[in-house]
């Protein structure tokens, strides 16, 4: 696990000093070594966190055995030994980096399809002066790039680009603010800056004197059969084999390994399977909250006792959350509203005291339809709900906070994937965003379209896989864990599991209201079912209580009318009305909308945007 950065240019404008600045900005991602390659045409920088082959021989930049290619690489490829044997590569080190580069030298851009892992890779061809960038299938590892006037600059985090690029090159992308208020994050390929983009998952860039070529090298849609698999018994066995293979391969490490254990389905499955394959007692880590409603440590402890792990608990206080808030703004580099970043940072900090690698359960909900949004997508597509929508909206508006929140589902864009997502997340609908934004900042979500051969719930799951997973959940975990130089691996996003899940008949993922149907069946092979007979909670924080308690000062400061007016992004009268509504108990669900507005203005204040 590492941080990478670099540039390609036709005119010499950037040099070694810029690479050093970018590497310094990424030092938290790789405290063990810094390496740099530079020429007038290209430069590469690397910060290393040593995981496999701890010797200096595995430091990067890495050169191919024939001397033609030089590479910097962030991530892990778990099948590197099998690939070395298959393609007759005789390594000089024990590092997966060497195999990755030698495989590229043998197979060219097709090599990426052979890799099973998480990665952001930059390879420079010294002979042809070409630069190649690759990002893994699910977007586990980040990669940002600036491109204009025949100059490309890339890095693992935006903060590194901010260090290298002249200030007048960094112009705010005001069109991204609407997307943030709707989603709680800025979806790829956009970022909060013009001319800086996120390389989308499963995509690559080829850059040479002929210009930039951006193209996908993998997509989940291309792997989905027309007829979905329906044999439950056979699929359960295939899933069992795939999960065991994925988890076992992700335990390979020359440094200590543990797992995050929340007590939910996904992390419990990963931890239980890891405990079976780990040599000794695997360490598990969980986070809890002082507010009892949001405390799942008891459930996690029961799972830990069953699987026999060496278990650790840590409790979050409001004081610790308050201390972390400004750090979230700087760590994520652009507006980011997912407050579960707070406990993710704290559990990462705790885990790093004992291990260097953790496994997490991320991906289970997106692959196996574990969210309420998947139920709503199926429900709202029915003719009965379409006919009843206006009446249900009116009736629900008269109820309590939970009912009023549900009323938002029956809006103008009821069948839109982004509408369902935004309302499930308590965020602004498309109409609400446009009522909130000032002037010409009109917003309409620009999303991928999916074939009508997919059911509504399948489309919602694809939306999650393409947007929510990489741009929120995986972003959250990557920045939070790498802040403390902790590598987090996600076995459920092994591409074999991804392709298997999306080829299952929808009823094997969402059975009635029972999401993650087959994944739960698999879990109960390893952990007793009665430990999970409770409502789904998720990895959330007691945000409403914090906003009306000890965090109220921070919250009020960033929603102050003077701050709102100074930046001129949203209408102060709309924010004031929203705050007044929030004060009523029946409108408590509005807390996430207000949080998003406060988070946006905290970022604007921190970044100096006017």
Q: Where are the domains of the chain?
A: 2-218, 223-321+336-368+476-532
- CA gap 297, 287 in Å, rounded: 7
What are 162-170's contacts with CB under 8 Å, separation 24+? Answer: 162/25, 162/333, 163/18, 163/21, 163/22, 163/24, 163/25, 164/5, 164/7, 164/14, 164/18, 164/19, 164/21, 164/22, 169/195, 170/196
Bridge partners of 413, per DSSP, are none
| Residue at token pair 């379209």 | 449
- CA gap 188, 158 in Å, rounded: 13
DSSP category for residue 469: I
C-alpha closest to that of 142 among 160, 162, 124 = 160
| Cis? peptide before 189, omega within 30° of 0 | yes
Burial class, 170, CB count within 10 angstroms (exposed 0-12 / middle 13-18 / buried 19+): middle
Helices (H) and strands (E) in the chain, counts: 25, 19
Q: Are 9 and 15 in contact (CB under 8 A)?
A: no
- CA gap 414, 419 in Å, rounded: 6
What is the predicted pLDDT for the residue at 38?
A: 95
CATH number of 223-321+336-368+476-532: 3.40.50.620
Q: Are 78 and 115 in contact (CB under 8 A)?
A: no
| Residue at token pair 């892990």 | 76
Task: Say yes or no: do domains 2-218 and 223-321+336-368+476-532 share a fold.
Answer: no
- CA gap 444, 438 in Å, rounded: 15
Alpha helices for 205-261 (secondary structure H): 232-249
- CA gap 30, 99 in Å, rounded: 21
How would you write 330-344 as a 3-class SS string? HHCCCCCCCCCHHHH
CATH number of 2-218: 3.60.20.10
Question: Which parts of the chain sit beneath pLDDT 70?
Answer: 1, 291-295, 412-415, 440-441, 535-540, 609-610
What is the predicted pLDDT for the residue at 610?
A: 40
Q: Are 435 and 574 in contact (CB under 8 A)?
A: yes
Residues 6+ apart with CB under 8 A from 255: 50, 51, 54, 355, 356, 357
């Amino acid at each position: 696990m590492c941080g990478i950065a670099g540039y390609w240019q036709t005119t010499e404008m950037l040099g070694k000093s810029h690479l050093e600045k970018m590497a310094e900005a990424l030092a938290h991602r790789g405290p063990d070594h810094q390496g740099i390659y530079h020429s007038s045409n290209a430069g590469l920088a690397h910060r290393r966190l040593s995981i496999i082959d701890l010797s200096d021989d595995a430091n990067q930049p890495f050169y191919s055995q024939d001397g033609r290619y030089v590479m910097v690489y962030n991530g892990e490829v778990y099948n590197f030994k099998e690939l070395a044997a298959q393609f007759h590569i005789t390594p000089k080190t024990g590092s997966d980096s060497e195999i990755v580069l030698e495989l590229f030298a043998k197979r060219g851009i097709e090599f990426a399809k052979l890799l099973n892992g998480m990665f952001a890779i930059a390879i420079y061809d010294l002979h042809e002066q070409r630069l190649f960038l690759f990002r893994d299938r699910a977007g586990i590892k980040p990669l940002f790039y600036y491109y204009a006037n025949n100059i490309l600059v890339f890095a693992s985090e935006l903060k590194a680009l901010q260090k290298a690029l002249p200030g007048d090159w960094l112009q705010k992308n005001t069109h991204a603010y609407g997307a943030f208020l709707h989603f709680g994050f800025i979806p790829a390929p956009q970022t909060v800056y013009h001319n800086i983009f996120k390389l989308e998952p499963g995509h690559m860039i080829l850059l040479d004197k002929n210009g930039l070529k951006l193209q996908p090298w993998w997509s989940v849609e291309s792997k989905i059969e027309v007829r979905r698999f329906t044999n439950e018994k056979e699929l359960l066995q295939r899933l069992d084999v795939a999960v065991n293979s994925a988890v076992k391969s992700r335990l390979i490490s020359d440094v200590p390994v543990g797992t995050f254990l929340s007590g939910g389905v996904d992390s419990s499955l990963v931890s239980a399977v890891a405990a079976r394959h780990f040599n000794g007692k695997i360490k598990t880590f969980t986070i809890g909250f002082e507010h009892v409603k949001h405390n799942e440590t008891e459930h996690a402890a029961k799972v830990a006792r069953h699987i026999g792990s060496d278990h650790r608990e840590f409790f979050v206080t409001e004081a610790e959350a308050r201390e972390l808030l400004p750090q979230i703004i700087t760590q994520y580099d652009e507006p980011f509203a997912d407050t579960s970043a707070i406990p993710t940072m704290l559990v990462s900090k705790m885990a790093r005291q004992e291990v260097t690698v953790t496994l997490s359960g991320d991906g289970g909900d997106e692959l196996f339809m574990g969210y309420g949004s998947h139920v709503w997508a199926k429900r709202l597509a029915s003719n009965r709900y379409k006919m009843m929508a206006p009446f249900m909206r009116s009736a629900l508006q008269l109820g309590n906070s939970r009912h009023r929140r549900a009323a938002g589902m029956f809006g103008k864009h009821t069948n839109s994937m982004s509408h369902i997502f935004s309302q499930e997340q308590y965020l602004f609908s498309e109409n609400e965003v446009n009522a909130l934004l000032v002037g010409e900042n009109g917003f309409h979500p620009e999303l991928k379209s999916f074939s009508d051969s997919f059911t509504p719930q399948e489309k919602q799951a694809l939306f999650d896989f393409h947007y929510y997973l990489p741009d929120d959940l995986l972003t959250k975990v990557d920045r939070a864990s790498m802040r403390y130089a902790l590598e987090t691996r996600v076995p459920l996003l092994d591409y074999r599991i991804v392709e298997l899940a999306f080829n299952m008949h929808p009823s094997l993922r969402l059975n009635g209201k029972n999401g993650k149907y087959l994944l739960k069946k698999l879990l109960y092979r390893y952990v007793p079912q009665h430990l999970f007979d409770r409502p789904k909670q998720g990895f959330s924080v007691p945000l409403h209580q914090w906003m009306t308690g000890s965090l109220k000062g921070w919250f009020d400061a960033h929603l102050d009318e003077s701050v709102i007016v100074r930046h001129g992004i949203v209408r102060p009268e709309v924010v004031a009305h929203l705050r007044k509504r929030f004060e009523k108990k029946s409108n408590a669900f509005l807390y996430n909308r207000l949080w998003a507005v406060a988070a946006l203005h905290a970022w604007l204040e921190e970044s100096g945007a006017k």
